[in-house]
Amino acid sequence: MGPLWDPLGVSALRRDRECEVRKGARFARQMDCPAFRFRKVGHDQSIPYKKYIMNTTETTSECIDRCNKLLRGERSAVETYAIAIEKFGDDPRVEKLKDICQEHRHSVSDLEKNIQDMGGDPDTDSGAWGGLAQAVQKSANLLGTQGALESLASGEKIGLKDYEKAIDSGKLMPECVELVRLQLIPRIESHLSILERLEERVD
């Protein structure tokens, strides 16, 4: 008689341990972990199992790297809006900028948690928006609030492109794609709409 197959890959008593941490990275947290689902009962499947672990760990590492790049962009956004808020002073439109800045802080927290859930360490540096913080400051000094708003909109567009590139890269794990598509990108699209309306209100 041929070898028996375990369609679930692991008994109910072992389901909480089906995906262990390998080299500091969590992998395949779903209950139907393929590493177990396709193992033959009573047969040594160590070689394909190890290959699965290596492939999954590599995928997780790539996803962490991508998410850290996005995180650096969100940190830069927070810094940039902080400068703009200071430049706007008591302008009534500053409240909208504060709201956007707070949403970028939420995005920072979301990405940090996502990276930690994968077993990674969130980057503490900023990036992506590049020198836009200085551009906002210079624009506000030379061109007033109009120039600052245009610089902020440019930063949001850079962030949007980075999120779209991350999805198109195929390096993001499903839960990360869901976070980007359902939460992070809609926030940026909302910010662009708000900034456009604020530009129209420039005196």
The closest of 193, 194, 88 to 145, measured between CA atoms, is: 88
Residue 200: the pLDDT is 84
For residue 176, give both structure tokens: 């990360």
Distance CA 125, CA 131 (A): 14
pTM score > 0.75 for this model?
no
Per-residue pLDDT tens listing for the chain (203 residues): 444 444 444 343 344 334 443 333 444 443 344 443 433 334 444 444 344 334 456 689 999 999 999 999 999 999 889 888 988 889 999 999 999 999 999 999 999 999 999 999 999 987 655 566 566 666 555 546 777 898 899 889 999 999 999 999 999 999 999 999 999 999 999 999 999 999 887 55
Q: Alpha carbon of 127 to those of 58, 71, 72, 79: distances in Å?
A: 24, 8, 5, 10
Residue 83: the pLDDT is 86
- Could you tell me how far CA 124 lies from the centroid of its own chain? 14
Per the listing, tokens 């809609």 go with 186
Alpha helices in 42-173 (DSSP H): 46-88, 94-117, 132-143, 145-168
Q: Which domains does the chain have, with CATH numbers?
A: 14-51 (no CATH), 62-200 (1.20.1260.10)
